[in-house]
Structure 1
Amino acid sequence: MKKSDILSNVYVFVILLFTSFFFSCSNADSSGDIGGIEFSFPTEHYKEALDGRLIVLISKQIETEPRFQLRDDSKTCQAFGMDINDWKPEESLQFDMGAFGYPIRNFKELPSGEFFVQVLFHKYETFERADGHVVKLPMDRGEGQQWNKAPGNLYSTPQKITINNGQFPAINIKLDQKIPPIPEPEDTKYVKHIKIKSKLLSDFWGRDMYLGAHILLPEGWDTHPDVSYPLAIMHGHFPGDFGGFRTTPPDPNLKPEYSERFDVEGYNVTVQQEAYDFYTTWTGPDFPRVIAIKIQHPTPYYDDSYAVNSEAQGPYGDAITYELIPHIEQQFRGIGEGWSRFVYGGSTGGWESLAVQVKYPKEYGMAFVACPDPIDFRAYCLVNIYEDENAYYQEGTFRKTLVPGHRDYLGNVDASLKDMNYRELVLGTKGRSGQQWDIWEATYSPVDEEGYPKRIWDRLTGEIDKEVASYWKENYDLAYILKRDWAKNGKDWENKIHIYCGDMDNYYLNNAVYLAEEILSETAAPYYNGEVDYGDRAEHCWNGDHDNGNHISRLRYHRMFIKKYVDKVHKVAPKNADLKSWRY
């Protein structure tokens, strides 16, 4: 054989060997070789095909189920999410092993070791809205839009797995558990519960939609049938009861539990004691006689609507103001005039209280606003949506720094804004996570071509959409609207706005309050004549109580704000208003 032929054969052999090695490496790196998850659900749970979000949860410990361990900080479990459409009973599907994950982005990067895996299916329904859009969303089922607690959702029993060097095992999971329904609350002498069908919301959503409320009647309501009362409207998250209203002392068999957030032993006992103390105060001889309500207005996006009209959620502001509240006043003898309705709440409820006072200046007589969600979008937490280009990073020439999302009262950061948004992205695409950043978009944004809320920023990159920001400014930036419309509505806002916030709010919400205070302090003809106050080192949910710690003040919204309103009501009531009959 010629030397050239030998060299040619060696060359071919080397090429074949390299090619074989290349394809071997490629196949070893494919998602098929990192294992896989096959899943199904039994006919006994559903006989029809389902749409929704499948969430795979991976945890190191099993003291609590993995579905209850997903959070923003370093103590979180791992999760991956995948949209599912037309999933039939007993049908086996493969989980997309390239699905987006939080906090680790993909399966191949998972650490080695023994873990527990659980799969949950968050069920969606189809809505044919009046605006012509057909959308798939999770209907609230009494739990307050909690994906891990929603009745009707399916989940699996946690099982143990072993991960080796990025190799996820092949497993077959049956979602054999179904979350049961939540029983309806029972009426008592003081606490009543109502639910009404809203025509405005039903027309918008293309199906029957309801609003509800817990009603707390004053002592003597039944023995004073000729008296009409002011209405104290507490805004806030979906309530399981009326703000912890409790007619008995703390359970003597209750095992005291430590509160990590407040560094307080036996905080669960404190919560029960505060609820009982409020009951004795409410029914005692010196507490103001008003009707207090906590409204229920869950949407397919969140546990409440933010109490305003919006493109993606519909006319909730009008439905609450013109359907629900008049219904309550008529049934339970409310005075039924704007000056006699006052609003209060913290966090989400703080924003809502200011929003309805701003949006409906004549329909509400006073707002007590605690630790509100961002009321000035120049400080949308730590993002200025008008000037910043990116929400996740503070960018310089040579480096970029993650924007913080959550801190403790000493300023220690345990989550970035990017972390918080990525967790929501795992739980739901198209704004369907049921979580905080998604509901802000569902409330403030116009809808996209599919009918879902437009993103204020790209959820993967953090790049801010300035067109969406402009829409937010004109419609939901409350501080900006106050300034823009003061000449028009200032007389109806006078004496009505009272804002309280801790200067170490965990979500940096005090920054927006500072900006709003500047605007209010510059008002004239008339001057706003309200109050803005800050708690030193106070965290989220501080409500203006300088005498007690944050862990106590957040439990006393009713007793603090109802008294504040009664002390100030003469400033907003007309001259012929009845300010005496309900003060028995």
Structure 2
Amino acid sequence: MTKRLSAILFWCSAGMCAAGLASPAAADITFSVTLPRSERVPVTGRLIVVASAKATPEPRLALGFNGPPAFGIDVEGLQPGETVVVDAKSDGYPFLLRDLPPGDYEVQAVLVRYTQARRADGHTIWIPISDARVTAPRFPGNLHSRSIRARLDPAASSTVALSLTERIAAAAPPADTPWIKQVRIKSRILSEFWGLPITIGAEVLLPRGFAENPGTRYPAIYTFGHFGGSFSFNPDPASDTRAARAAAADSNTESGYQFAQKWMGDDFPRVVGISLVTPGAYFLESYALNSANNGPWGDAITRELMPYLEKTFRLIPEAYGRIVEGASTGGWEALALQLHYPDHFGGAWVFNPDPIDFTRYQLVDIYKDENMFTVRPNEWIVKERPFRRSREGQVLVSLRELAALEAVMGSKGRSYYQLDIWQATHGPVGADGYPVPLFDKKTGAINRDVVSYMRASGYDLSGYARDNWARLGPKLRGKINMFAGEMDEFYLNLGVYKFQEMVAELAGADYPIRFEYGRPKKGHNWHHTDWAGVIREVADYVRKIAPPGAPVADWHTTRGRAGGVRNGARRSGA
């Protein structure tokens, strides 16, 4: 790291970039980016230029909060053959373009294409949207330049010419296998809201004997997560590498191949694993609830997709047969569905969820704090709030830095990244049709009107449960299982603690809800047992809550004392 860059990072981390850093009078670095005439139609979207010290991976593929410097601007109706300039006025991460340290860089531009949506609420907006579960800069159909080597120095006048000659190809859709079936249907509910054809999908993991038992109806475990399908199932022995086992062991789970051997075994419960595929306009996950900005995803999931899956795959069409499970974003989605649709789902396994109590929006109490970025221990000291830490407590990324990255990746809440999707999900629609931000990305100042909207709309899940406990308390008994690592890298364990405190306050410490915490130094990926163990827990739970006369013997198997197989009995009345 150069002495100049060290100084920049020190002053920026203290929130004093503008006041304390002497910068050149003008930034002379510019990137001129041309849309080839061969494109034929104008493009509206987000243009991002990435400058990396490394040739591999391609600069655009390294974009992220651990990635190289990047600079972004909006383009509206960019015509074929037209050139646009990225200069000192662009958004920058981790610093502005004028503060880029001089050096040799690999430079590449990528243009995120937006689609015009004429929404049912009367707003016409431009959004990044794709069926692919990837971040917006990796959408199929995006244009990008080739990476070129260039000398960049703000003290010397230089212009780097880039041409968007390359196009990201669509990946081949995953094929069906004997075990996994791909589902994608058009959602009438979402299509009417967006004024666009919107599809919703799932990856369905079938149990052993599914085809041979056409009269059996199965419980479903609806899993929510970014990637990997249900429980990372993979029957290919070549996938069972040392690295795969090490990664799984780090989260206290098993590799996809190890799990597959158990799933296909004689003594395993016959349930269906369903990984929902719900990329939306603001993120690669929908966040599962109805939202003024995201659209009516809760209705689409419960009224369109789930009935289709229940009919197609012979699932139990009752609450006791619908279990939700998820981690991180998926943990929030699982808990949100269980709370907002308590009669539709029979139970939830919730791992390391995104903020579920907004007095701990990570480390921010949005009801009391004035600023997202800083905390004042006293009148003399101002400290930056972290977004991410190591499991030993070392701060790695601040909220200010992440907000700057998201400003580069998209304006008006369209970064397709973490803070923006929270605000799009939780917040109101602005006069321009885009999400009203919870906080100012430059200053961190919190918008009190947005805070009030978020609470009143039920997105603070702890607050929602508190406000509706008289109705929800009797319906949630024994249904919620929550797990968090005590050194969650994103401080998400704090919201789980607050949820537990809320339940104890309202219902007593003996109210039947489960909380388990991983220690020591267990992080965001921690699970209390492996995936096979989770499924056995779920199967035993479903068997226990099944109504009298339910044919649990058709799908429930347990390990006998001598290691054989014992079929579960038909559930009888008490």
Q: Would the TM-score normalized by the shorter structure come out above 0.5?
A: yes
Match of 1:245?
A: 233
Q: Percent identity?
A: 36
Aligned mates of 2:517, 2:195 — CA distance in 1 = 44
Q: Secondary structure at the match of 2:259?
A: helix
The alignment status of 1:38 with 2:19, answered yes or no, reads no
Offset at residue 441 of structure 1 (A): 0.7
The alignment status of 1:307 with 2:280, answered yes or no, reads no
Match of 2:83?
A: 92
After TM superposition, the score normalised by the length of structure 2 is 0.88
Q: Secondary structure at the match of 1:522?
A: helix
Shift in CA distance, 267/37, structure 1 to aligned 2, threshold 3 Å: same
Aligned mates of 2:323, 2:68 — CA distance in 1 = 42
Aligned mates of 2:541, 2:254 — CA distance in 1 = 29
Q: Secondary structure at the match of 1:468?
A: helix
The alignment status of 1:317 with 2:290, answered yes or no, reads no
Aligned mates of 1:244, 1:230 — CA distance in 2 = 19
Aligned mates of 1:265, 1:193 — CA distance in 2 = 29
The amino acid of 2:130's aligned partner reads D
Offset at residue 567 of structure 1 (A): 1.8
Number of matched residues? Answer: 531
- Aligned partners of 1:108 and 1:167 also within 8 Å: no
The amino acid of 2:235's aligned partner reads T
Offset at residue 347 of structure 1 (A): 0.4
Offset at residue 65 of structure 1 (A): 1.2
Shift in CA distance, 343/251, structure 1 to aligned 2, threshold 3 Å: closer
The amino acid of 1:152's aligned partner reads G
Kindly report which structure 2 residues correspond to 1:496-507, keeping only aligned pairs within 5 A, or say none: 496-507=479-490
The amino acid of 2:58's aligned partner reads E
The amino acid of 1:477's aligned partner reads D
Q: Secondary structure at the match of 1:452?
A: coil
Structure 2 unaligned runs (5+)?
A: 1-23, 557-566, 568-574
CA deviations on 1:353-408 (whole Å, 9 max, x unpaired) are 10000000010000000000011000000100000000100023122100111111
The amino acid of 1:249's aligned partner reads P
Offset at residue 71 of structure 1 (A): 2.9
The alignment status of 1:540 with 2:524, answered yes or no, reads yes
After TM superposition, the score normalised by the length of structure 1 is 0.87
CA deviations on 1:121-164 (whole Å, 9 max, x unpaired) are 1110100000000010111142x241332111111111111123
Shift in CA distance, 561/243, structure 1 to aligned 2, threshold 3 Å: closer
Aligned mates of 2:239, 2:508 — CA distance in 1 = 54
The amino acid of 2:439's aligned partner reads W
Shift in CA distance, 158/197, structure 1 to aligned 2, threshold 3 Å: same
Offset at residue 36 of structure 1 (A): 2.3
Match of 1:23?
A: none
Aligned mates of 2:398, 2:85 — CA distance in 1 = 32
- Aligned partners of 1:376 and 1:516 also within 8 Å: yes
- Aligned partners of 2:239 and 2:257 also within 8 Å: no
Shift in CA distance, 363/291, structure 1 to aligned 2, threshold 3 Å: same
CA deviations on 1:234-272 (whole Å, 9 max, x unpaired) are 0122x35444321221259x7x66x9xxxx978899999
- Aligned partners of 1:244 and 1:272 also within 8 Å: no
Shift in CA distance, 270/205, structure 1 to aligned 2, threshold 3 Å: closer
Match of 1:340?
A: 321
Aligned mates of 1:175, 1:382 — CA distance in 2 = 41
Aligned mates of 1:168, 1:186 — CA distance in 2 = 52
- Aligned partners of 2:388 and 2:489 also within 8 Å: yes
**Corresponding residue to 1:205 among 171, 190, 194:** 194
Offset at residue 168 of structure 1 (A): 5.1
- Aligned partners of 1:58 and 1:115 also within 8 Å: yes
Give the alignment's Cα RMSD to 1 decimal.
2.3
The alignment status of 1:215 with 2:199, answered yes or no, reads no
Aligned mates of 2:296, 2:147 — CA distance in 1 = 41
Match of 2:408?
A: 426
Q: Secondary structure at the match of 2:365?
A: coil
- Aligned partners of 2:252 and 2:528 also within 8 Å: no
Q: Secondary structure at the match of 2:552?
A: coil
The amino acid of 1:52's aligned partner reads G
The amino acid of 1:62's aligned partner reads A
Aligned mates of 1:180, 1:120 — CA distance in 2 = 14
Aligned mates of 2:85, 2:495 — CA distance in 1 = 46
Match of 2:155?
A: 166
- Aligned partners of 2:144 and 2:167 also within 8 Å: yes
- Aligned partners of 1:246 and 1:272 also within 8 Å: no
Aligned mates of 2:149, 2:246 — CA distance in 1 = 34
Match of 2:173?
A: 184
**Farther off after superposition, 488-497 or 94-103:** 94-103
- Aligned partners of 2:251 and 2:525 also within 8 Å: no
Match of 2:8?
A: none
- Aligned partners of 1:311 and 1:443 also within 8 Å: yes
**Farther off after superposition, 357-366 or 190-199:** 190-199
Q: Secondary structure at the match of 1:250?
A: helix
Offset at residue 480 of structure 1 (A): 1.2
Kindly report which structure 2 residues correspond to 1:479-494, keeping only aligned pairs within 5 A, or say none: 479-494=462-477
Kindly report which structure 2 residues correspond to 1:122-137, keeping only aligned pairs within 5 A, or say none: 122-137=112-127
The alignment status of 1:103 with 2:76, answered yes or no, reads no
**Corresponding residue to 1:61 among 54, 66, 73:** 54
